Amino acid sequence: MQAFDGELGVAVARAQEGDEAAFAVAYRLVQPGLLGYLRGIVGDDAEDVASDAWLEIARDLGRFKGDGAGFRGWTATIARHRALDHLRRQKVRPRATALENDLLELPGVHDTHDQALESLSTTQALALVARLPRDQAEAVLLRVVVGLDGPAAARVLGKRPGAVRTATHRGLKRLAQLLRTEGVTEDGARTLGESG
Amino acid sequence: MNGSGGSRRGHGSDGRHGDSQGRAMPSGRAESEMGEPRHGGAGQDGRHALNDAPAPDPAAAPAPADAPDPAPAPADAPDPAPETRTPPGLPDVGLTAADASSVDLLLAVAVRVRAEVDSAGEARALAAFRAAREQGPRAARTRRRDDWRPNPRRRVQRSVRTTLAVLLSSLTLGGVAFAAIGSATRDDDAGPGRGERDGRTGTSRGAPAAPGPSGTQGAGSTTGDRPASARDTEAHCRAYEEKAEGRGRALDATAWRRLADAAGGTQKVAAYCAARLGDADDAGDREQGAGESAGKQDGTVRSTGPDAGRRPDGAGAAAGSATGKPDWAGEPTAQGTPDQTDRQGRTDQGDQADQGSRADQGGRAEQPKGADGSGRVDGADRTPDTK
């Protein structure tokens, strides 16, 4: 499904044999998607959760069976478990607290589409995603950021493919709506950005 | 550390960062950037975003002209290819053009996430890998959740599940068939074929599979409708016959009383029933010859139990399916009664698959047919008798 699933599959197979360089390749291919997904769930602690996840991934690498796309789904599942554990430990710390300040910097309405997206930081973008309901946020992140297909995303989330499809659709629609409405902010916000 | 990270980004990766943004979302599939992942550090907080926001702006202004190509990636990572606007994997979600903006947004997220070197995180992961490797190649079994092989495994599972479901439903219907067959053809005046079938149905009624469906039938039938008194009486007669022959359930008090009223006295019940059932079976034969649906309705009419007459619906469903399945669901019945059963079996063969896989629908579909048909059968053939 993704551009480098073939390379990823080869790298994983070699890493299972003990090839360290192959493991590094697999890491680079997978980590960005995992990080983006984790940011949407746990926010700022994404790197810590990702580290925990990679510990488990490295430890259980021998158990994995599958191709590159399967590896993405497998690692996403592990990452999700770690994220849920993290959330439980944190006792429902609100994801968006550290991120809300950045919402003031959202671009104004007369920015073009691309300009608006450019001036958005990752954190701001994820702040928008954080405002989705959790199941929609997860579905959207898994489908778009991690790059899983429908059945794989359903398996990671433990839901039926139809439910995941619905959640993805609704999440994207709501995200688009948020983008449109959040674009209408005070000009002062843009000034801040320009002067920064 | 944030400052140093920012300046580091200002060198090479920031240009790349700007490049990726310049073309950004429309052309860049996120993972295809393959750039450096975001720097993993302990100092991540909201202020990081401030570093993000100013840096891309000045970089983005000069950068777009320089960014016709896909984002340059680290030498050891594969170069991405530019991709279309909509991610190839999302057509099934049915996005409108407006929603594509949200997809772009998320791609932007992924893009930026990749824009930094995650050297610390990678080092940690490699260390974990080495440590796990040191532990030796223990025989790690692949648990179910570790098995992510593509489709064939899942297809097999799904087909197994489907097969099991079909088997279970057909077994259930077979049990119901056993229950229904008993009363479907109860008649002491019947020909040899029927008599054999009676004998077999008597034993089959005791089949363990029968109690469940029969129980539900009996339970549901007490609240059934009673417009067709003729049907009731005939069913009562059948139950009486069964009781007299010592095989069936004892006629309950209400049914017995009704039968006695219809017959004009408890002593006359036997003779009354004999007369009634003789006519009923003839009519039933004609109906069977008429066609499969009639055959099912006949089964409905002759449904089992003392209260069956009041329950054409459930019994129709059961008997309709039951008469359709005597061949392989009820072996003894099929063998002994070639003419009747085979005819029913053949007429219903066409529906076997349908009934098996759509048992509920078939049952429900049978109900109105059964009810109407029984009414018709009764009205046409039995009304003269009872009236």
- Per residue in A97-136, pLDDT (tens digit) is 444 444 444 444 444 555 544 545 666 777 788 889 999 9
d(CA B219, CA B233): 19
**Is there a single domain that holds both residue B14 and residue B115?**
yes
CB of A15 less than 8 A from some CB of B: yes
Mean pLDDT along residues A143-149: 90
Q: Which residues contact B259 (CB under 8 A, 6 or more apart)?
A: B233, B236, B237, B240, B251, B269, B272, B273
Residue B144 lies in a domain: no
**Is there a single domain that holds both residue B170 and residue B115?**
no
Provide the domain limits for residue B341: 162-386
pLDDT given for residue A128 in this prediction:
83
pLDDT given for residue B316 in this prediction:
42
Residue B143 lies in a domain: no
Q: With 80 as the cut, is the pLDDT of residue B79 above it?
A: no
First-to-final CA distance of chain B: 102
Q: Regarding predicted confidence, which is higher, A49 or B339? A: A49
Buried/exposed B205-216: b ≥16 CB within 10 Å, e otherwise: bebebbeebbee
Contact B39, B116 (CB under 8 A): yes
pLDDT given for residue A67 in this prediction:
94
List the CATH code of the domain at A95-196: 1.10.10.10
Ranked by mean pLDDT, the top range of A176-180, A187-191, B275-279 is A176-180
CB of A104 less than 8 A from some CB of B: no
Residue A43's pLDDT band (boundaries 50, 70, 90)? confident
CB of B380 less than 8 A from some CB of A: no
Contact B39, B5 (CB under 8 A): yes
Residues of B in contact with A50 (CB under 8 A): 40, 121
**Is there a single domain that holds both residue B167 and residue B245?**
yes
pLDDT given for residue B200 in this prediction:
52
Best to test chain B binding among A114, A136, A174 (most B CBs inside 10 Å): A114
Distance of CA B173 to the CA centre of its chain: 16
Window 164-193 of A: residues touching B by CB (8 A cutoff) are 165, 168-169, 171-176, 178-180, 193
pLDDT given for residue B271 in this prediction:
81
d(CA B101, CA B107): 10
Window 106-145 of A: residues touching B by CB (8 A cutoff) are 113-114, 117-126, 128-129, 140-141, 143-145
pLDDT given for residue A26 in this prediction:
94
- The domain over range A1-93 is classified in CATH as 3.30.1490.20: no
Closest by CA position to B148, among listed A111, A74, A98: A74
Residue B135 lies in a domain: no
pLDDT given for residue B170 in this prediction:
92
Contact B333, B204 (CB under 8 A): yes
Q: What does the pLDDT look like over B36-49, one tens digit per residue? A: 444 434 444 444 43
Supply the mean pLDDT for chain A: 81
Q: With 90 as the cut, is the pLDDT of residue B194 above it?
A: no
Helices B312-324 and B338-357 pack at an angle, to 10 degrees, of 110
Distance of CA A184 to the CA centre of its chain: 26
pLDDT given for residue B304 in this prediction:
47
Residue B51's pLDDT band (boundaries 50, 70, 90)? very low
Among B55, B88, B119, residue at a domain's last position: B119
Residue B249 lies in a domain: yes
Alpha-carbon Rg for chain A in angstroms = 18
Q: What does the pLDDT look like over B149-177, one tens digit per residue? A: 987 655 666 778 888 999 999 999 999 98
How far off is chain A from B147, nearest CA to CA, in Å? 5
Task: State what percent of residues in chain B have pLDDT above 90.
Answer: 6
Size of interface A-B (CB pairs under 8 A): 266
Domain boundaries, chain A: 1-93, 95-196
Q: Regarding predicted confidence, which is higher, A30 or B255? A: A30
Task: State what percent of residues in chain B have pLDDT above 70.
Answer: 25
Closest by CA position to A105, among listed A92, A88, A118: A118
pLDDT given for residue A129 in this prediction:
86
pLDDT given for residue B116 in this prediction:
56
Closest by CA position to A154, among listed A73, A56, A68, A84: A73
**Is there a single domain that holds both residue B108 and residue B188?**
no
Residue B140's pLDDT band (boundaries 50, 70, 90)? confident
**Is there a single domain that holds both residue B181 and residue B322?**
yes
Q: Regarding predicted confidence, which is higher, B64 or A59? A: A59
Among B104, B119, B134, residue at a domain's last position: B119
pLDDT given for residue A102 in this prediction:
46
Of A57-71, A79-93, B333-347, least confident by mean pLDDT is B333-347
Contact B101, B46 (CB under 8 A): no
Give the burial class of B42: count Cβ atoms within 10 A of its Cβ; 0-12 exposed, 13-18 middle, 19 or more buried. Answer: exposed
Q: Regarding predicted confidence, which is higher, B111 or B272? A: B272
Mean pLDDT along residues A19-24: 94
Total domains present in chain B: 2
Q: With 80 as the cut, is the pLDDT of residue B289 above it?
A: no
Q: Regarding predicted confidence, which is higher, A26 or B365? A: A26
**Is there a single domain that holds both residue B41 and residue B166?**
no
Residues of A in contact with B108 (CB under 8 A): 117, 120, 122, 125
Residues of B in contact with A58 (CB under 8 A): 125, 128-129, 131-132
